[in-house]
Structure 1
Amino acid sequence: MHEDYINIILADDDEDDRLFFSDAFDELKITTRVKTFNDGVYLMDYLNSEGTVLPNVLFLDLNMPRKSGLECLQEMKKNDKFKDIAIAIYSTSASEEDIEKTFVMGANIYIKKPNDFKTLKKVLEEVVTINWQYYTNGLNKDNFLLRL
């Protein structure tokens, strides 16, 4: 079944970041459906629910209350149901340790949150128009961190 929109989910506890993110997609000329969650528990409850339409791309903030992005990532990688979701780590941190850890855990791309709206739009457009088939096959560390 192929829909003509890209299904996007963002899990992020920062309300401003969630608004920014949704606004950026509103302005892009890409047909998307964006859903946001403010913590990892809500996210995983949603993803694990019967009949949920799984996202094409999931943006995951690392530092969230109750359940962190790392915990969500770990949970998702253990479950075959989620194997086709492209997982983008979306974090204010660009520490080598976080990048290394999420790479090893199987995330698809790492994005350091941009601080201005124009860059954010560019980043999001780039990420949702990536050909993930190609991108996830030869996953290597060089193209894991999105550089603009």
Structure 2
Amino acid sequence: MSTKPMKVVLVDDDEDDRMFFADALQEIELETDLQEFHNGQELLNFLNDSDLDHPQLIFLDLNMPVMNGFECLKKIRTNPKLKDLVVAIYSTSSSERDIEETFVNGANIYINKPNKFEELKKTIAQVVKRNWQYEENEMDKTNFLFRI
């Protein structure tokens, strides 16, 4: 049994969405350590300045001030130290263009923010419990958009 909690990061400028997410994460049967950031620049500052272990999973919103999720994802994927991090896009957008752009730029999965708490909990549980180290390197577009 693992004694270390899974390190999860949520990057979202909306306080209500962060609270909703944290509550749902707390209710799943997996010990996690959640860190929250308000925009992509805060996340990158943390990842670049930190001597700590990187998170196992990053939930990244797209529409944020300072640095949005698109820019942040590109910077993560072009940084040799960060390029292998697991990034789940977590957005209210269901735009085909946004989905395509994040897929092309290397996100691991795309999640539309659920409106209902039980759906959110179920979604987070499935994404967090996925064994990302065994996922194939070549992304399959049919599995990229996560739906409950």
TM-score, normalised with respect to structure 1: 0.94
Moved over 3 A (4+): none
Which residue does 2:130 correspond to in 1? Answer: 130
Local SS of the residue matching 1:137? coil
Distance in 2 separating the partners of 1:135 and 1:107:
13
Q: Is the 8 A contact 2:77 2:84 kept in 1?
A: no
What amino acid sits opposite 2:120 in the alignment?
Answer: L
Within 5 Å, which residues of 2 pair with 1:15-94? 15-94=15-94
SS in 2 for 1:9: strand
Deviation digits for residues 57-86 of structure 1 (CA, Å, limit 9, x no counterpart): 000000000000011000001111113311
| Distance (Å, rounded) in 1 between the aligned partners of 2:46 and 2:107 | 19
> Given that residues 89 and 110 in structure 2 are in contact (C-alpha distance below 8 angstroms), is that contact kept between their aligned partners in structure 1?
yes
The aligned residue for residue 101 of structure 1 is: 101
Task: Determine the C-alpha separation between the residues in 2 that align with 1:136 and 1:32.
Answer: 24
Summarize deviations over 1:80-106 as a string: whole Å, max 9, x none: 111331100000001100000000000
Q: Which 5+ residue runs of structure 2 have no aligned equivalent?
A: none
Query: What TM-score comes out, normalization by structure 2 length?
Result: 0.94
SS where residue 80 of structure 1 aligns? coil
Tell me how far apart the structure 2 counterparts of residues 133 and 50 of structure 1 sit (CA, whole Å).
Answer: 22
For the residues of structure 1 that align with 2:3 and 2:84, how far apart are their CA atoms? 15
Q: Provide the aligned C-alpha RMSD in A.
A: 1.3
**Does residue 114 in structure 1 map to residue 114 in structure 2?**
yes
Instruction: Could you tell me which runs of 5 or more consecutive residues in structure 1 were left unpaired when the two chains were aligned.
Output: none
Q: CA deviation at 1:136?
A: 3.8
Identity percentage of aligned residues: 50
Aligned to 1:145: 145
